[in-house]
Structure 1
Amino acid sequence: MLMNNPINKKCRNNLIQYAVDFMPKNLDDQRILQERAEHVSKEKVKKMVAENLVTYVRFKLGDHEYYGIPYHVTKEVMHKGTLTRIPSVPDFIAGVINRRGMILTIIDLKKFFHLPVSDQTKNEYIITVICNAMTVGILVDNIVGSDAYDPTLIDTPLSSAGTIKADYVLGLHNGITTIINVKTVLSELALQLGGK
């Protein structure tokens, strides 16, 4: 409603014109602007690296437990979709999907960690991870967002009600998010499934 007001339209148009006036007009100026934008972007990345921060995708398993998987092992996050069940496999194998011509095994992390399983899950997601030359999908209940931690300041791993092996956890971020050791989890999966 406010945008239909003639005064607001005029102000908006003036702001747009003001911004357009400052945009580069020739190719050299456009190139310089692009180089500056790339430089600023690289500086932000350098700052995060200098601060030794590890970014991660934050998600929920169950109603109250928060977990994280570092982005450097994360390939993709997607909605669950339809899984094809496989007979005679451990119960933590939720099934497989065909993702861009590749058969992707989906691991139900709650079952793998022996956490309580709820039938009321609505918005399940799959986080595709790559580590130790293995690519798997990890089934989670809900994606919360992203965060970053300093590995030197992360809290000592706590076992979730005695069910999650300490080796599966890198530590606890801000006292509430359990950071998963994907390398160890995938190594254990390979062993349990008869791999290397």
Structure 2
Amino acid sequence: MGEELKVIVFSLAHEQYGVEVEKVRTIERMQPLTRVPKTPAFVKGVINLRGVVVPVIDLRGRFGLPEADYTDNSRIIIVAVKDMEVGMIVDMANDVVDVDSDNIEQPPEIVGGIKAKYLRGLAKLQDDRLLVLLNLEEVLNKSEIVQLEQFGE
């Protein structure tokens, strides 16, 4: 048996995704965003989270999925990547699961229209669900992070 990974599960366009718990700072309800000019369309703006300005991206837009209206279930998952916090808007944050690293397979080239470089792997859960694990370093890749970092200053 491999090592256990604790993963936060969230939904996006009827698919289940996961991100490691240790990269997640907090999960927030939707709140008003301050738009920032001259940013990619998937960068929805910034929020002031307990005195810290945090850029927020819409994961649907990031992955080229159709945009959807935000609902009472929509959440902003605040993740930390390379000393920077970024909020990711998701359709719903579901639960926390343990994933055995032995049950993680390499992702195919495209999953649900999302390129493999954004994916860390596919995890098989005990209840036969497949969970798409995100590669946050690519989802929030450097060239875009450089643009985003300017807001935090």
Mapping for residues 1-196 of structure 1, pairs under 5 Å:
52-62=3-13, 64-119=14-69, 121-158=71-108, 159-161=110-112, 163-174=113-124, 175-186=129-140, 188=141, 190-192=142-144, 194=146
Give the Cα separation in 1 of the matches to 2:51 and 2:135. 28
Give the Cα separation in 1 of the matches to 2:145 and 2:22. 24
Task: Tell me if structure 1 keeps the 8 A contact 2:45–2:56.
Answer: yes
Give the Cα separation in 2 of the matches to 1:181 and 1:156. 12
How far the C-alpha of 1:51 sits from its partner, in A, is: 5.3
Range moving further from structure 2, 148-157 or 72-81? 148-157
Q: 1:149 to 1:192 in 2, by over 3 A?
A: same
How far the C-alpha of 1:183 sits from its partner, in A, is: 2.2
How far the C-alpha of 1:194 sits from its partner, in A, is: 4.0
Give the Cα separation in 2 of the matches to 1:194 and 1:77. 23
Aligned-CA RMSD value: 2.0
Task: Tell me if structure 1 keeps the 8 A contact 2:54–2:87.
Answer: yes
Give the Cα separation in 1 of the matches to 2:89 and 2:10. 10
How far the C-alpha of 1:120 sits from its partner, in A, is: 6.2
| Unaligned residue ranges in structure 2 (runs of 5+) | none
Give the Cα separation in 2 of the matches to 1:122 and 1:114. 23
Q: Which amino acid aligns with 1:96?
A: V
Give the Cα separation in 1 of the matches to 2:87 and 2:70. 21
How far the C-alpha of 1:84 sits from its partner, in A, is: 1.2
Q: How many residues are treated as equivalent by the alignment?
A: 143
How far the C-alpha of 1:98 sits from its partner, in A, is: 0.4
- Identity, % of aligned positions: 33
Give the Cα separation in 2 of the matches to 1:65 and 1:121. 17
Greater helix share, structure number: 1
Greater strand share, structure number: 2
Alignment deviations for residues 52-71 of structure 1 (CA, whole Å, 9 cap, x no partner)? 10001101012x11101100
Give the Cα separation in 1 of the matches to 2:79 and 2:70. 25
**TM-score normalised over the length of structure 2:** 0.84
How far the C-alpha of 1:143 sits from its partner, in A, is: 1.0
SS of the residue 2:137 aligns to: helix
